[in-house]
Chains A and B, each alone.
Chain A
Amino acid sequence: MSNIPENLKYSKDHEWVSVEGDVATIGITDYAQSSLGDVVYVDFPRAGDRFAIHEAFGSVESVKAVSEIFTPVGGEVVEVNEGLNDAPESVNNDPYGAGWMVKVKMDNPGEADAMMTSAEYEDYLSSNG
Chain B
Amino acid sequence: MSTELKKTPLNGVHRELGGKMVDFGGWDMPVQYKAGVIEEHMATRTRAGLFDVSHMGEIWVEGPDAIAFVNRLTTNDVTKLADGQAHYSCFTNADGGVVDDLLVYRFGPEKLLLVVNAATTEKDWAWIRSHHSEHDDLALRNASADYCQIAIQGPKAREILQKLTETDLDSIKYYWFTEGKVDGVEAIISRTGYTGEDGFEVYAAPDKAVQLWNAMIHAGADEGILPCGLAARNTLRLEAAMSLYGHELGDDIAPLEAGLGWITKLGKDSEFIGKEKLAAMKEAGLKRKLAGFEMTEPGIARDGYDVYINGEKAGTVTSGSPAPFLKKNIGLAFLPAAFANPGQEIKIDIRGKHVAAKVVPTPFYKREK
| Residues of A bordering B, CB below 8 Å | 37-38, 40-41, 43, 59, 61, 63-66, 92
Contacts and interface: CB of A to CB of B under 8 A. Distances in A.
A63 B302 contact: no
A57 to B, nearest CB: 13
A59 B36 contact: no
Given A37-B36, A61-B300, A63-B322, 12 more contacts: A37-B20, A37-B32, A37-B231, A40-B300, A41-B298, A41-B299, A43-B299, A61-B322, A63-B231, A64-B37, A64-B321, A66-B351
Contact of B37 (A38, A61, A66): A38
A63 to B, nearest CB: 5
A41 B351 CA distance: 15
Interface of B: 20, 31-32, 36-38, 41, 231, 235, 298-300, 302, 321-322, 324, 351
A40 B36 CA distance: 12
A101 B42 CA distance: 27
Interface centre among A40, A41, A59, A92 (most CB of B within 10 A): A40
A129 B300 CA distance: 27
A64 B300 contact: no
A116 to B, nearest CB: 25
Given A61-B322, A63-B235, A64-B231, A41 B38 contact: no
Contacts of A64: 31, 37, 231, 321
Given A37-B32, A37-B37, A59-B351, A66 B231 contact: no
A45 to B, nearest CB: 13
8 contacts: A37-B32, A38-B36, A40-B38, A40-B322, A41-B299, A41-B322, A43-B299, A63-B37
Nearest to A59: B351
A38 B32 CA distance: 10
A66 B38 contact: no
A66 B302 contact: yes
A53 to B, nearest CB: 21
A41 B37 contact: no
